[in-house]
Amino acid sequence: MLPLELPLPLLLLQVNSKLLSMSYLIVGLGNIGIEYADTRHNIGFLVLDVWSQASNIIFESGRYGSIAELRYKGRKVILLKPSTYMNLSGKAVSYWMQKEKIPLENVLVIVDDLALPLGTLRMRKQGSDGGHNGLRDITETLGTSNFTRIRLGIGDNFSKGRQVDYVLGSWSEQERKLLPEICDKTRDAALSFVTIGPERTMNFFNTK
């Protein structure tokens, strides 16, 4: 409870700060265009699409990306699918952070990861880009790597020299069967991040 003896301007400032801390930006990375829609690299987009459908909310076109908004346990949650293509994702993240006045600690980025088996989820509060161009651009644009991210394993079942073809390739039928569970688990992890923060969420959701 805020002390009533505070001067009104300071009281309003504290109220505004508290309200801002209740807004969150969940970013699913991917590439726009029908040719990328069903690819492994776009699993970030897929998670948000499945989430929005389950929540009966609709993405609308905005500057540098498509946006959907929902409320969860008193928090404002903004879902963002950048339209800048993967390599320029930072522009979209920076713009919507500023527009919605969302602090860095309330940003969560969802990306694909070749180094993890399909179905593996890893949340980290910070870290290197791991060779991921989307994470690299966000880090360079924001000037820090201290933002939470979820890495979703897509496996590395490709022959030498075929990495790009694999990442930008479509899911196999076997892989496709696992996607609904992966998307649901990632959404649950994101909502946990919103309510109890990254540390406790990592304990619950990070898979071995």
Catalytic residue at 132? no
Q: Is 95 helix (H, G, I), strand (E, B) or coil?
A: helix
Q: Is 65 helix (H, G, I), strand (E, B) or coil?
A: strand
Q: What are the Cα distances from residue 151, in Å, to 17, 51, 100, 118, 155?
A: 30, 17, 25, 11, 12
Tokens of 38: 């069903």
What is the dihedral sign for C-alpha 113, 207, 105, 110? Answer: positive
Q: Is 152 helix (H, G, I), strand (E, B) or coil?
A: strand
Q: Is 167 helix (H, G, I), strand (E, B) or coil?
A: helix
From the candidates 29, 40, 41, 194, which is the catalytic residue?
A: 41
- H or E segment at 110? strand 107-113
- Do residues 207 and 122 lie in contact, with contact meaning Cβ atoms separated by under 8 Å? yes
Active-site positions? 41
